[in-house]
Amino acid sequence: MPRLFRTLILGLVAAAWIESAAAQSAPRPTPAVRRLMASLTLERQVAQLVMPWLLGNYVAYDGDGMALPRYWVDSLQVGGIIISIGSPMDVASKLNFLQRRSRLPLLIAADLEGGTAFRFPGATSFPTNMGVGATGRIEDAAALGRITALEGRAVGVHMNFAPVADVNNNPANPIINTRSFGGDPAAVARLVAATVTATKRAGMLATVKHFPGHGDTEVDSHISLPIVRGDWARLGGVELVPFRAAIAAGVDVVMSAHVALPGLTGDSTAPATLSKRVMTDVLRDSLGFRGLVVTDALDMGALVAAYGGGEAAVRAFEAGTDLLLMPSNPREVIAAMTAAIRSGRISRDRFERSLVRVLTIKEKLGLLRRRTVSLDSVAAVVGQRAFMDTARSVTRRSLVLVRDSGDVIRGIRSGGGDLALVTYGEPGWNSTLPQQLTRRGHRVQTFRLYPMSGPASYDSAQALVARAPTALFSVAVRVASGSGVITMPEPLATLIESTARARPTALVSFGSPYLLTQTPSVGGFLLAWTTGQAPEEAVAGALSGAPIMGTLPIDLPPRYRTGAGLILPAEIRFDAANRR
């Protein structure tokens, strides 16, 4: 047989096998799903695959703020909504209203990384994923998944865009950072699998993201297209390890990454979201994933600037996506997808496989029987004391004492001296650390710095620390979509460095763990991972003698490796709480 002919035959056989495998990956539609499909026009079928984004704040049902979501539900008949920041009761009420208006039940999703309080104030707040990684406990990851699922379902959310399965092995990454469980693929895999399993058992769909891995990048994909340089061997040994574990654990949903992988696709300009090689050949065929594939936000700069909203959605679907998330113009996406199906660019069979997946998930979630939630039960579930106590315990275990040169932290824990506390963070962070420390008997003088602080403010901070025997800097530099950086401003780093050379100085990071590279002279370095009441209470406790037990889940340049961390037992000290 001539080589060319043999190659052609093998290629046709391979293509047929791939098509067969893809077909088998879609569930067989039940009679109820078949009836739903038959009741919808093509445009309304396409709309079932579109999920726009909605703020969860309070708005009157007939107010102007509900005009657009009413249009999505009444006229476009979208298949779902991504709900964002709002109080638990406002979110539940708004979702109930939209569910009652919708012809078909809506699939509701939310990004609840680090607990339900990430979007819904008053709900339970865990440390970031990296904080959970610092505890090293599978049980803590499971608690995160279980409690988040129970609270999310109570307010009407069915699908959590978490856990993050990215391996954060690049300190310069401006968008993943503490959202990752850590830098060791095997450890991340264990924690991801535990979170997925607990989420599913509590009745919520878990989503692993950002496939095939967003950890080794230096660009925020909300702004432009990051490039992951690894080849197949590198991806298989690092980035894909947690995704394999999640699939083995039965994860329901995988979210794509807006990153280019030239070592895998040969193209440094096309994101994985639009690559059939990544989203079908690797995810479906190589890894054997049979669940729902969703895009990352389709309004992100990495896609919109290059392709436009409608074309980006069509290309993402061609690559292997089922659900199209957060388009800036849902109507444009529905029109583009409908035209692509009618022209034959997207086959009807391929389209119906995705439609069946989405409708089958709605049926399995019980939404065809009941789509609303009881408002009376929201306050009984969300933020309940048992959940809060569990999250506080995880938070206390997550603290990592990276360094204590000169016993700076130990000196603060023993008490008895004046302390100058300089706090830096966004204006929205109302830090309670000064009050927490004072309540525990520390004598504290404080000064607050902000990103917009000028030379006069820094001069005042310098004067404060110059008068105290020990200086403590409390800094919150956190991931912010669209910022493109995750470092301290130079004036702050300079102030900390100059202070550390003059007197005992400690730095507490309520965000990025990589600040030590900017402040190499600081004596004490304590990681608390995120802002909020629970981590600030935990830090105040640790600085007053409570045990410190976390270890690094990442490598911290230039000298600290994964697993490092000073473990300090509880210390009895004389303070205001112990006075008789």
Same domain flag for 423 and 302: no
Range of 474's domain? 399-578
DSSP annotation of 556:
B
What would the pLDDT profile of 311-359 be if each residue is shown by its tens digit?
Answer: 999 999 999 999 999 999 999 999 999 999 999 999 999 999 999 999 9
C-alpha closest to that of 461 among 427, 423, 425, 434: 423
Token duo for residue 194: 């535990």
Same domain flag for 444 and 334: no
Same domain flag for 434 and 359: no
Same domain flag for 306 and 419: no
Same domain flag for 292 and 410: no
Same domain flag for 135 and 52: yes
For residues 289 and 22, give the distance between their C-alpha atoms in angstroms, rounded to a whole number.
Answer: 10
Average pLDDT for 231-241: 92
Same domain flag for 416 and 367: no
Reply yes or no on whether the pLDDT at 1 is more than 50: no
Read off the pTM. Answer: 0.92
| Active-site residue identified among 184, 296, 322, 555 | 296
Structural domain contains residue 472? yes
For residues 282 and 286, give the distance between their C-alpha atoms in angstroms, rounded to a whole number.
Answer: 5
Structural domain contains residue 8? no
pLDDT at position 223, please?
Answer: 65
Same domain flag for 275 and 312: yes
C-beta atoms surrounding 58 within 10 Å: 14
222 is catalytic: yes
Structural domain contains residue 120? yes
Split into its structural domains, the chain has a count of: 2
Token duo for residue 489: 């401003």
Same domain flag for 408 and 481: yes
Structural domain contains residue 389? no
CATH number of the CATH domain containing 71: 3.20.20.300
Structural domain contains residue 126? yes
Reply yes or no on whether the pLDDT at 56 is more than 50: yes
Label residue 216 by pLDDT band (50, 70, 90).
confident
296 is catalytic: yes
C-alpha closest to that of 209 among 266, 293, 285: 293
What would the pLDDT profile of 162-174 be if each residue is shown by its tens digit?
Answer: 999 999 988 988 8
| Active-site residue identified among 158, 222, 258, 442 | 222
For residues 117 and 264, give the distance between their C-alpha atoms in angstroms, rounded to a whole number.
Answer: 37
Under 8 Å between Cβ of 378 and 89: yes
Same domain flag for 422 and 362: no
Structural domain contains residue 262? yes
Angle at 88 between CA 83 and CA 89, to 5 degrees: 110
pLDDT at position 151, please?
Answer: 98
Residues in the chain: 580
Under 8 Å between Cβ of 284 and 320: yes
Residue at 405: amino acid letter: S
Average pLDDT for 562-575: 84
Same domain flag for 434 and 346: no
Structural domain contains residue 45? yes
Same domain flag for 339 and 407: no
